[in-house]
């Protein structure tokens, strides 16, 4: 398992997750977006 240190981690790449990512990137470059895959 790889360990990554970031200031902001956002789980979910939906509408709210992408909005949170954009807002966080305005404050810091240390942002990680973790997309969630739902079982279909």
Res 39: pLDDT: 66
Q: Which residues of the chain have pLDDT under 70?
A: 39-40
CA separation (Å) from 6 to 9, 23, 24, 34, 38? Answer: 7, 15, 11, 12, 24
Looking at the 3D structure of the chain, how many domains does it have?
1
Contacts of 20 (CB under 8 A, 6+ apart): 10
Res 19: pLDDT: 97
Res 18: pLDDT: 96
Q: Domain range holding 26?
A: 1-40
Res 38: pLDDT: 73
Query: Of all residues in the chain, what percent are helix, strand and coil, respectively (each to 5)?
Result: 30, 20, 50
């Amino acid at each position: 398992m790889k360990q990554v240190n970031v200031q902001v981690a956002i789980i979910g790449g939906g509408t709210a997750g992408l909005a949170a990512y954009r807002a966080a990137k305005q404050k810091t470059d240390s942002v990680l977006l973790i997309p969630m895959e739902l079982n279909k």
